[in-house]
Chain A
Amino acid sequence: MSDIKKIKDDYIDKLNTENNIDKVNNIKSELFGKNGIISNEFKKLGSISVEERKKLASDLNNIKDELQNKISIKIQEIETKEINLKLEKEKIDVTLPERNIEIGKIHPVSQVIDEISSIFSEIGFSVEEGPDVENEYNNFTALNTPDNHPARDMHDTFYLDNNKELLLRTHTSPVQVRTMLKGKPPFKIIAPGRTYRSDSDQTHAPMFHQVEGLHIDKNINMGHLKGCLNYFIKEFFEVDKIKMRFRPSHFPFTEPSAEVDIGYEIKNGKIVIGEGNKWLEILGCGMVHPNVLKNVKVNPSKYQGYAFGIGIDRLGMLKYGINDLRAFFETDYRWLSHFGFDPLDVPSNYRGLSR
């Protein structure tokens, strides 16, 4: 028995200093293999007395357990060490740059059109569109602006023929005409789109964007016009309160007509919309002129309502602090990256108009 104990102690010592996994496995088969030392000891049990056998078997089992336990701990120890070593070797610099990211952007004009559409959608407006090339009738005459009307001078028009029959629409109002001609009242639409006037300087571009609004029904009055625009401006600029002023003005296609100013102030060189004692003109509107309704076959004694036109680019400039209108259309990569919006940032009521 003491032999065995000694063997055990020797092996425990050996295991304690051993660090090679193959050698530990060798020890394992030396001890527990088919002709292993411990295995052989167990075989001997059959040839001794019952009395001795009981005692020896118990000792032998204890020694076996101890050694096996030691071996498995050792194996685990060595494996852990090896894996740690491997991991250590595999370590990379995770601060190296990722694979190239290509970030696309949505143009501010498109984003603002989506914002506007989302706001008006909430109060039941649908979106209508019309062609960029218009005829003289839809752009002017049907809108109560006959040829000899001085109001035409305010629209520097691009023409496509010498008879001045075909032109690039100077405003989105012809969409009103088209919408009413092809349908029956009531009408409740907005019409965003490209518009064109032949002047070009720091604050004017030969192409810009407008959104037209039209609501015609039996009892739509100026109070509704005020309410609608008040709602829109507040939502658009995402402010709780907005100072707004309706001022009489003149457009041939509305009567009475108004221009709308909103209050602002300059804070730290930046324009802040809503409060303040300065006024900024942002849109024109009015009650659709009975002559226009007659021209589009709507009976003005039964139906009435309002129309408005807002400059989209200008709204975007005010909201997002963009100074130069012309830069909108110059496709400067830096500008587009800077002022563009993430494609996933879709303006909507439930997710919020802007991030």
Chain B
Amino acid sequence: MKFTIDWLKNHIDTKFNNNQIIDKLTNIGLEVESFESFSSELDTFIVAKIINAKTHPNADRLKLCDVDIGSGKTIEVVCGAPNAKNGLLTVYAPPGSIIPKNQMKLSVSKIRGVTSYGMLCSESELLLSNESDGIIELKNNKYENKIGEKYFKNTSEKVIDLSITPNRPDCLGVRGIARDLSAAGAGKLKINKKSNLKYRGNQNINVTLKKEKVQGCIAFGSCLIKGVTNKESPKWLKDKIKSLGQKPISAIVDITNYVMFDLNRPLHAYDADKIDNEIIVRNSSAGESFEALDNKKYILENDMCVISDRSGILGLGGIIGGTRSGTEYSTKNILLESAYFLPRSIRKTSKQLNIDTDAKFRFERGIDPLSIEEGLTKASELIKQICGGEISNLDVKKIENYKKTIINFDPFLFEKTTGFNVENKELIKILEKLGFNVSKNKRILKLVVPSWRPDITQSIDIVEEIVRIKGYEHINTSEPIKTRLKPTLNYYQKLFHFLQRSVASKGYLETVTWSFTDSKINQLFRENDEEIPIVNPISSDLNVLRNSIFPNLIFYLKKNLDRGFKDISLFEIGPAFKGKNPGDQLTVIGAVRAGKISRLSWNDKERIVDTFDVKKDVIQSLCESGIDKDDIVIDDKTPSYYHPGKSGGVYQNKNEKKALAYFGEIHPNIIKKLDINTEGLVIFEICVDYIKESKQKIKDSKSEYKFSDFQKSERDFAFIINKNFKSQELVNIIKSADNKLIKSVRVFDVFEGENIPEGKKSIAVNVTIQSEEKTLNENDLDNINKLIISSVESKSGAKIRS
């Protein structure tokens, strides 16, 4: 909402200066976005000083000037003026300026081989005089301290731009703003002058509000103005229209616009001679069309509120008029419309047709239903004044009468809500100035809500009115109440933060990517989840919700590889979507690692990242978050985007059916499809939601501490075993040979090939044996050795290597 202070003062007598008005507006909830003059073409011309004028190297009559243009900047300008000399104060026009004399736009140009940034101006070029013999010489004493400032004062009036919240249609007119200001003590609202307009004759174009299931127009006021002379608007009106940031069109159109912005009362003027017999306000049928004043043709759906005549549609009520009945300079007779359209109807139609106009914006928020006559009178008066003509009686057709909103307000609610008290007397004064009719019934105030405030429906709205006008600065700042109702984080929230930092501490950079992704990449990671398209995506490559974190992660990994980074570790923790209903999402960590370990190290051998690097990262992170490493079980079933032979699933313990994590190499097909150039690419993922909370809290599980001081022994074994036999199983067989004595089993060598039969492999393990009761003698150790060998051989078909 734009307007000038002058315009505001048509409605309020105020002693406030501009800044006080600006502050007040913001303080009562009418936020000032800006308060500026219109920019002027002359704004670019600034006061400058020639620091050094020397002869142009290629032209004796030209000079090369170093010019101080303020804020510490010096530029070089080529100048032909004989009076250009060191120390001269003059007017400088930078590139982009438009020279008033010839309307030429300056650009950076080369003059005889030297680049000139803008020009120094003569009086004639600025249309100040006919003096064209040299550049302007400004007086030292006046301009010495103004270098860099505008030479021309911008005299256009400053425009206030307010950002009006959707609940305040009344402030989409200057009068409403003035009313708020006056309630807040900024001055006295002027009383509207009583009109002494003379009406002659009847409005003889018949208006019918057709009965519809939902009639979007509930009141239609109109009058005829006959014998007008449409013309250009007078200067005062043009200035008003311009201050709104709009172009003046003709007196009649400008007047209807002016009244809309002045009183928040949209109007429409028809060329009465172009109306076919009568006005019918009705609902449209699908397929009807008309050409609107924005020069677009609209094809309508069923049940849009239209203004029509016998030939068809004239316009969309409250939204936009049509070209067929538009006013022109030649228009002689006009029909002026002032109606009330239902916000819901306006909103629905304008959404369907995607039209936004000033009238639509206002009707959608709610116009004062009692302003029909006032609008007609004010506009007719102005039209008569400017264009002449005779005004008919006002004709108002209604299908519904306005019902007052009454609120019984208990002033105690104010203090209860805001925490401070306002005297009843002051409170009533504020409400009355806002247009409420207040009567008292003991403690309760009976309030009749003004018709222009459709937003006020209940007591809490009254609290807001009072506190906003009184000022939010009166609200106390209470000390925060520290009472706690429950712990800050629950188990999974803690786990989230813990795993996040745990993974990062392994050298991964955390990233945050969109929750949506490109369906083409998502497809590669979707598995059996349903695709979840976004109906109105921001772009076609962000058109589905991500089923996995990897589509985005791999996409951005590739971007970084293309930037020239080789060794990259990235991860994200966030939602992966499994369905389109609320809650069909899992919290997942996805991590990628590309490139080499120890690249260009002077002492370590570099190698490509591999599955066991990410296996370490994932297992370590899980252990750090509280999972017992000894319980973890690994298998080789993984989603299809993993390399089928080089990836694994992680289970919290042997009873779990669902893998809580996967790790491994990414499938080579994906690397090929996405054209990723890297030496190695391994990934892992953890589903945070699948981790089961331990039954014991740490304070309960820490109580027992057992250790053995008896000597421990280590024995190495090598078995020849089927190639596909899993080392994890071998380790379990050995452990279970004697759970008490065998403390740990470590695989230290795996070997295939020479001396090993086809289809077999050799696995070497180191077993630590220790008793908690005694030092084991040779005999004991021999027995356990034999037990280990026989268990392994019988349970796995392996043979001990001799």
The closest CB in chain A to the CB of B344 belongs to: A148
A228 touches B480 (CB 8 A): yes
- B563 partner residues in chain A, CB cutoff 8 A: 332-333
Which parts of A20-37 form the interface with B (CB within 8 Å)?
none
With contacts A329-B512, A333-B560, A346-B501 taken as known, whether A221 is within 8 angstroms of B344 at the C-beta atoms is no
Verify if A290 is at the interface (C-beta below 8 Å from B): yes
Q: How far is the CB of B760 from chain A (nearest CB, A)?
A: 37
Chain A residues within 8 Å of B510, by CB: 104-107, 110, 336, 340
Q: Are B501 and A106 in contact (CB under 8 A)?
A: yes
Q: Tell me the residues in window 330-366 of chain B with beta carbons closer than 8 Å to chain A beta carbons.
A: 343-344, 347-348, 364-365
Judge whether B514 is part of the interface by a CB distance below 8 angstroms. yes
Produce 1/0 per residue, A239-282, CB < 8 A to B. Answer: 00000001111101001111100000000000000000000000
Asked if A328 meets B512 with Cβ closer than 8 Å, knowing A110-B500, A151-B166, the reply is yes
Most interface-central of B365, B484, B511, B602 (chain A CB within 10 A): B511
Contact (A331, B580) CB under 8 Å given A123-B482, A206-B542, A343-B504: no
CB distance B481 to A124 under 8 Å? Answer: yes
Check if A166 sits within 8 Å of B501, measured CB to CB.
no
Q: A226 near B505 (CB under 8 angstroms)? A: no
CB pair B480–A329 under 8 Å, yes or no, is no
Residues in B with CB closer than 8 Å to A196 are 515
Query: What's the nearest-Cβ distance from chain A to residue B462, in Å?
Result: 10
Contacts of A149 in B (CB 8 A): 166
The A contact surface, by secondary structure, is mixed
Interface hits, B243-263 → A, CB 8 Å: none
* Bound-complex Cα distance A167 to B455 (A): 27
Write the chain A residue with the least CB distance to B348: A148
Asked whether any CB of chain B lies closer than 8 Å to the CB of A91, the reply is no
Tell me whether A100 and B508 are in contact (CB under 8 A): no
Residues of A within 8 A of B477 (CB): 223, 226-227, 230
When distances are taken between beta carbons in the complex, the residues of chain A under 8 Å from B343 are 148
Residues of chain A with a CB closer than 8 A to B464's CB: 248, 255-257
Q: A105-B510, A249-B165 are contacts. A227–B479 as well, Cβ < 8 Å?
A: yes
A206-230 Cβ-contact flags toward B at 8 Å (1 or 0): 1100000001000111111011101
Provide the residues of chain A in CB contact with B574, threshold 8 Å: 194
Q: Which of B548-596 contact A (CB under 8 A)?
A: 552-553, 556, 559-560, 563, 565, 568-570, 573-575, 577, 580-585
In the complex, which range does the number of interface residues on chain A fall in?
Answer: 35 or more
Q: Which chain B residues numbered 473 to 518 have a C-beta less than 8 Å away from chain A?
A: 473, 475-490, 493, 497, 500-516
Within B26-48, which residues are at the interface with A (CB < 8 Å)?
A: 26-29, 31
Query: A102–B577 contact, CB under 8 A?
Result: no
- With a cutoff of 8 Å between Cβ atoms, the chain B residues found around residue A168 in the complex are 515, 534
Chain B positions 529 through 546: 1 when the CB is less than 8 Å from some CB of chain A, otherwise 0: 000111111100010010
B669: chain A residues within 8 A (beta carbon):
none
Check if B505 sits within 8 Å of A150, measured CB to CB. no
The verdict on B460 contacting chain A, using a C-beta distance below 8 Å, is yes
Output the least CB separation between B479 and chain A (Å). Answer: 6
Which chain A positions have C-beta within 8 A of B484? 124, 126, 188
Distance to closest chain A CB from B180 (angstroms)? 10
Which residues does chain A contribute within 8 Å of B463, judged by CB atoms? 255-256
A115-159 at interface with B (beta carbon < 8 Å): 117, 120-127, 129-135, 138, 148-151, 153-154, 158-159
Contacts known (A150-B365, A343-B505); A227 close to B478, Cβ less than 8 A:
yes
B25 to nearest A CB, angstroms?
A: 10
Q: Which of B767-790 contact A (CB under 8 A)?
A: none
Interfacial chain A residues near B604, Cβ < 8 Å: 99-100
Complex Cα gap A97–B471 (Å): 64
Q: Which of B29, B513, B597 touches A250 (beta carbons < 8 Å)? A: B29
In the complex, what residues of B have CB within 8 A of residue A344's CB? 501, 505
**A50 CB–B CB distance under 8 Å:** no
Q: Mark B665-676, 1 if CB is under 8 A from A, else 0.
A: 000000000000
A114 CB within 8 Å of chain B: yes
Give complex CA distance A99, B146 in Å. Answer: 62
B166 engages A331 (CB within 8 Å): no
Which residue of B458, B486, B599 contacts A290 across the interface (Cβ within 8 Å)? B458
Q: How many A-B residue pairs have CB under 8 A?
A: 260
State which size class the interface on B falls in. 35 or more
Cα distance, A166 to B536, chains bound together (Å): 12
Known: A126-B485, A221-B416. A231 touches B480 (CB 8 A): yes
* Residue with the greatest number of chain B CB neighbours at <10 A, chosen from A158, A257, A333: A333
B167 CB-CB contact with A under 8 Å? yes
Minimum CB–CB distance for B476 against chain A, Å: 4
On whether the beta carbons of B514 and A250 are closer than 8 Å, the reply is no
With an 8 A cutoff between CB atoms, is A186 at the interface? yes
B418 close to A222 (CB less than 8 A) = yes
Q: Which of A120, A194, A287, A332 contacts B417 (CB 8 A)?
A: A287
Instruction: Tell me the bound Cα distance from A75 to B46 in angstroms.
Output: 92
Check A340/B344 contact, CB under 8 A, given A99-B604, A133-B577: no
Q: Are B481 and A224 in contact (CB under 8 A)?
A: yes
Q: How far is the CA of A53 from the CA of B304 in the complex (A)?
A: 142
The smallest beta-carbon distance between B1 and chain A, in angstroms, is 14
Q: Per a CB cutoff under 8 Å, which of A150, A206, A249, A255 touches B364?
A: A150
- A257 vs chain B, min Cβ distance (A): 7
Q: Does A162 contact B (CB under 8 A)?
A: yes
Contact (Cβ within 8 A) B419 A221: yes
- B598 CB–A CB distance under 8 Å: yes
Kindly state the separation between the CA atoms of A148 and B366 in the bound complex, as whole angstroms: 12
Question: What is the minimal beta-carbon distance from B181 to any residue of chain A, in angstroms?
Answer: 14
Contact B507 A104 (CB under 8 A): yes
Q: Does A51 contact B (CB under 8 A)?
A: no
Q: CB < 8 Å: which of B29, B348, B480, B509 contacts A337?
A: B509
- Give chain A nearest CB distance to B442 CB in angstroms: 19
Query: Which residue from chain B places its CB closest to the CB of A109 in the assembled complex?
Result: B512
Give A198 to B485 CA distance when docked, in angstroms: 36
Q: Are B601 and A100 in contact (CB under 8 A)?
A: yes
CB closest residue in chain B, given A149: B166
Complex Cα gap A149–B169 (Å):
13
Q: Residue B515 contacts which of A120, A194, A228, A331 (CB distance < 8 angstroms)?
A: A194
Among the listed A129, A160, A333, which residue makes an inter-chain contact with B568, where contact means beta carbons less than 8 Å apart?
A: A333
> Considering the chains assembled together, what is the distance between the CA atoms of A64 and B192 in angstroms?
132
| B residues near A188, Cβ cutoff 8 Å | 483-485
Residues of B within 8 A of A203 (CB): none
Q: Which of B509, B514, B603 has the most CB of A within 10 A?
A: B509
Beyond A207-B514, A250-B166, whether A106 also contacts B504 by CB under 8 A is yes
A172 to B19 CA separation, bound complex (whole angstroms) = 37
A90 interfacial contact with B, CB 8 Å: no
Q: Is A103 an interface residue when CB atoms closer than 8 A count as contact?
A: yes
User: Could you tell me which residues of chain A, from 165 to 206, have a CB within 8 Å of some CB in chain B?
Assistant: 166, 168, 186-188, 194, 196, 198-200, 206
Known contacts A109-B512, A124-B484, A223-B476, A117 near B489 by CB under 8 Å = yes
Known A-B contacts: A104-B505, A133-B580, A150-B347. Give 5 more (CB < 8 A). A100-B597, A158-B516, A166-B581, A230-B477, A258-B472
30 A-B pairs (CB sep. < 8 Å): A99-B601, A100-B598, A104-B503, A104-B508, A122-B482, A124-B484, A126-B487, A127-B488, A129-B493, A131-B582, A132-B575, A133-B581, A135-B582, A150-B166, A166-B581, A188-B485, A222-B418, A224-B419, A247-B26, A247-B31, A250-B29, A250-B166, A255-B463, A287-B417, A289-B460, A290-B460, A333-B509, A336-B511, A340-B510, A343-B505
